[in-house]
Amino acid sequence: MQVKRFGVSLEDELLKKLDRLVENQKFPNRSQAIRYLIKKDLVENEWEGNEEVAGAIVLVYDHHKRNLQNESTEVQHDYHHLILSVQHVHLNHDNCLETITVKGKASELIDLSNKLIAIKGIKHGQLVMSTAN
């Protein structure tokens, strides 16, 4: 991949915000921060355009909650065509973390994620999506 150089003009306040982003995210330089922001915007456009994306649904829950695992499995079976893998980790005696790797249309992944996160007993859930390309 060939790298092209170009100049960018920014207002002082916007440049200060870019520099804060570089510092906070520990980017090595402004160019890396700009690459990150461009890629982030392109990925978000794929989500909004309902393109095929890949991602992970992360769930934290108390495994003692009655029927939670059965409900989660039922939902996952309804969306089996989107699920690539599931990893289940025991955080402590009561809590589990499940990472569900998914790939498919953004709207379907959002729907699956929302259904899983809404299950009674889920303490925290989040969908992270990225480009599938």
Closest C-alpha among 62, 47, 59, 43 to residue 118: 59
Q: What is the mean pLDDT of residues 47-68?
A: 90
Predicted pLDDT at 41: 86
Q: Are residues 58 and 25 part of one domain? A: no
18: domain range? 12-48
Average pLDDT over residues 48-59: 90
**Domain identity same for 43 and 78:** no
User: Across all residues in the chain, what is the average pLDDT?
Assistant: 92
Instruction: Give the pTM.
Output: 0.76
Could you tell me the two tokens for 101? Answer: 């790797």
Is pLDDT above 90 for 86? Answer: yes
Does residue 6 sit within a domain? Answer: no
Q: How many domains does the chain have?
A: 2
Q: Are residues 60 and 103 in the same domain?
A: yes
Look up the CATH number of the domain holding residue 80: 3.30.70.1150
- Residue 108 and residue 64 share a domain: yes
Q: Which residue has the higher pLDDT, 43 or 67?
A: 67
Residue 5 lies in a domain: no
Residue 24 counted as domain residue: yes
Give the long-range contacts of residues 66-75, CB within 8 A, separation 24 or more. Answer: 68/119, 68/120, 68/121, 68/122, 71/119, 71/120, 72/98, 72/116, 72/119, 75/112, 75/115, 75/116, 75/119
79 and 117 share one domain: yes
For residue 36, is it within any domain? yes
Supply 50's token pair: 């309902």
